[in-house]
A and B are shown apart, each in its own frame.
Chain A
Amino acid sequence: MTDMADLSGAADAARASAAAARDDELVRGWRLSWLRMRAIGTRHAYVLLRSPHRLFDVILWPVVDVLLFGSLATFVASGHTSGSARAAAYLIAGIVLWHVVYQSQIAVSTGVLEESWSRNMLNLMVSPITAFEYVAGVALFGLLKMAGALGLVTVGAAIFFSFDVPALGWGLLPIFAILLFVGWAIALFVVGVVFRYGAGAEALAWGVLFVVMPLSGIFYPVSALPAFLQPVALSLPTTHAFIALRALVDGKGIEWNQLALAAVLTVVLLALSLWYVTKMIEIFRKRGYITRYS
């Protein structure tokens, strides 16, 4: 009996020592969150660099866009009608800034879809990474991708069409920030739909932007839209951000009223998206949808 007690005590002591070693090996607090975000970012960097077709979104698509809309702008400008040069500038500035929404949205939503495609969802969901840490990791990596894509469209606009985007000035920064957060908000909505309806809803990741794009009047004033769509357009933060962008193109300076309205609408959109994705994850756990991935 005494021997057994000794053995049990020795085993417990060994485990206590293992637990102490375990604690020493671990990072805590904000450093832990940062480590997890970095891990997710690195994972997506491997996926991007080892899948040449995924570079389409970052390299080919921005170049195609700037060529398409830049050429259209050149054609419009050659009309010599009043305002045609201005419309051409709207086209190029619009497509460059639209890539902020596109790249930030696509990075987060396809990041989550990637876990579904590679059946990594269950492993991640049983791990201690939080939803915030995961999304932040994907979003931060998305920022790097976006920097590359924006660089391409900016340089493309300058080389092919002599349009100097940075010359629009510091007023671009708040517009950029608003469009970035709108992209993330739309991505959270898409992620919520994927949690609720499965990877079959992946078409939304790309498709939803084709709805937002024309409604946001990225190339034209809201008055150019059919009357019944104009109230919808005015409820979108992107619409006001692009109104502010056109003011910059016209040399009118920063339209703070439009930017403030865009910022408020962005906060509302982000809050709605966060609420939606949280609700969908709750339903995901409640209904056991994880079995789709096991």
Chain B
Amino acid sequence: MTSSTVVLEARGLVKDYRRSRAVDGVDIVVHAGERVGLLGPNGAGKTTTLLMVLGVVSPDAGSVVIDGVHVDRDHSKAAASIGFAAGYLPLTDRMRVREYLTMYGQIYGLRDPKPQIAAGLERFRIPDLAEAMGTELSSGQRTLVGIVRATLHRPRLLVLDEPTASLDPDVARRVREGLGEICAEDGTAILVTSHDMSEVERLCERVIFLSKGRIVADGPPNEVAAAYGHGALEDVFLQLADQRDAGRRLEVEQTDRPA
């Protein structure tokens, strides 16, 4: 169930790196409470798009507005409405989980982060980790703590990069359930990237497929799969990956052809 409030409005995003165009005119609009998967094979432009949404990479063209605030005009204010977690990021060294979460709670402006920390750890069923050092955690535990950190301040938009990578099915389920609760209770919208298509089908009500920096599909998972003549998102993913590889082969052949 989503309301009509727009939380993320990205228009005409373009980003060039030295050798190639990473993102080529991407438009994404996400509403409150919506769970959106940003998908595509490696090199499709997902991470660059996310980093532009987060305001840590400047677009060459286009704009990002979070909860009514232009990211490039007032990053601090826009960032206060965003939470971000990535499965690959470690916890800060030499801090206990409670200390780490307190630090980020304060950075996000929480007057007293303790209740939110307790509720977050409880929600993801890891209250016993509060006094553990960050370096003592498994990758799955780190991911859960990262999501707790990202949701302490009840963000309007939660951006997750590969949140369930390397998680066992039980922890992945905890992540899904916890995120579902957050969306329902706080109206938080989720924008998530993942290579695990079955996980995306369970978590997201809408998927956006990127290929070569452009949006090639946008809609509910079953409708997107059907539009490509498949029954599952994984087959759409593989088809796009094959097209990317075929395109690369063609480029190499054209480059190698004598003039």
- Interfacial residues, chain A to chain B (CB-CB below 8 A): 7-8, 11-12, 14-15, 18-19, 21-22, 25-28, 32, 35-36, 38-40, 42-43, 46-47, 50-51, 117-120, 122-130, 282, 285-288, 290-291, 294
Contacts and interface: CB of A to CB of B under 8 A. Distances in A.
A38 B56 contact: no
Interface in B88-117: 88-90, 92-95, 99, 102-104, 106-112, 116
Contact of A7 (B1, B17, B55): B1
15 contacts: A11-B1, A15-B32, A18-B186, A26-B110, A38-B106, A39-B106, A42-B99, A46-B94, A117-B93, A118-B92, A126-B54, A126-B55, A126-B56, A130-B76, A288-B15
Contacts of A291: 47, 51
Contacts of A119: 89-90
A203 to B, nearest CB: 21
A217 to B, nearest CB: 39
Given A15-B32, A126-B82, A294 B48 contact: no
Interface of B: 1, 3, 15, 17, 32-33, 47-48, 51, 54-58, 75-77, 79-80, 82, 84, 86, 88-90, 92-95, 99, 102-104, 106-112, 116, 149, 153-154, 159, 161, 184-187
A128 B95 contact: no
A286 to B, nearest CB: 5
A126 B84 contact: yes
Contacts of B108: 127-128
Nearest to B84: A126
B187 A22 contact: no
A194 B149 CA distance: 27
Nearest to A114: B93
B89 A294 contact: yes
A35 B57 contact: no
A46 B99 contact: yes
Interface of A is mostly: helix
A126 B154 contact: no
Contacts, number: 132
Given A19-B187, A126-B54, 17 more contacts: A35-B106, A36-B109, A38-B106, A40-B103, A43-B99, A43-B103, A47-B95, A118-B92, A122-B56, A122-B84, A126-B84, A127-B104, A127-B108, A128-B76, A128-B109, A288-B51, A294-B89
Nearest to B186: A18
B187 A27 contact: no
Contact of A120 (B48, B51, B92): B92
Contacts of B3: 8, 11-12, 15
A14 B185 CA distance: 7
B108 to A, nearest CB: 7
